[in-house]
Amino acid sequence: MDRDSEAAYASYVEQAWGSLVRAAVFLGALPHEAEDIAQTTLVRCYTGWDKVSSADNRDAYVYRMLLNCLRDTRRTRWWKDRAATGTLEDGGARTAVSDGADAFALADAVHRALSCLTKPNRDVVVLRYFVQLTERQTADVLGVPTGTVKSRLSRSLAQLAANDHILDLSGGASR
């Protein structure tokens, strides 16, 4: 890789790291697993930087790579053994956020509410609202039509609006 490409890649990594880790967490990975998945994604970006940097929609391309890395991780025997022992349940170790219990409670409630969605619907919500991709970019990442993204978002948001974890945060006023 030449010096200019190396600098462009380093700049991209610095800009994208936090977003990739957050997306992996909201897609169901634990924080330390999310960092591994983001790192693996960025290594794959490095090895194919020419394709990544010349992609029509670089963010969509990279988030597709992130989803593939997450799926690859979940296919391994280690993941299957770990899931079978129940260590992925919500009772697992959590890292408290530095800005207090309220922020932790909010993040935990959102994580629990998202876990109630189906995988395709959770992917759409995370990519659209947490990663802040457009509907078109989200459709490109997932390889589905834009209309499918819209319908999944509509169903997901209705389901999240009625979710007990979210209602508990608002005091159940919507009940």
Name the more confident of 84 and 6. 6
Domain boundaries, the chain: 1-95, 97-175
Scanning the chain, the segments in alpha helix (DSSP H) are 3-26, 31-47, 49-53, 58-75, 77-85, 101-115, 119-125, 135-142, 146-161, 164-169
* pLDDT single digits (tens) 9-49: 999 999 999 999 999 888 888 888 899 999 999 999 999 99
Helix (H, G, I), strand (E, B) or coil at 25: helix
Tens of pLDDT, residues 92-112: 554 544 445 666 677 777 888
**Gyration radius from the chain CA atoms:** 17
Query: Could you give the CA distance from residue 61 to residue 53 in angstroms, rounded to a whole number?
Result: 9
**pLDDT per residue over 104-155, tens digit each?**
677 777 888 888 899 999 999 999 988 888 999 999 999 999 999 999 999 9
pLDDT at residue 82 tops 70: no
Q: Are 61 and 21 in contact (CB under 8 A)?
A: no
CA–CA gap between residue 136 and residue 142 (Å, rounded): 10
DSSP class per residue in 141-169: HHTS-HHHHHHHHHHHHHHHHT-HHHHHH
CATH architecture of the domain covering 97-175: Orthogonal Bundle (1.10)
Architecture of domain 1-95: Orthogonal Bundle (1.10)
Q: Left, alpha or beta for 117 (phi > 0: left; psi -120 to 50: alpha)? A: beta
Eight-state DSSP code of residue 126: I
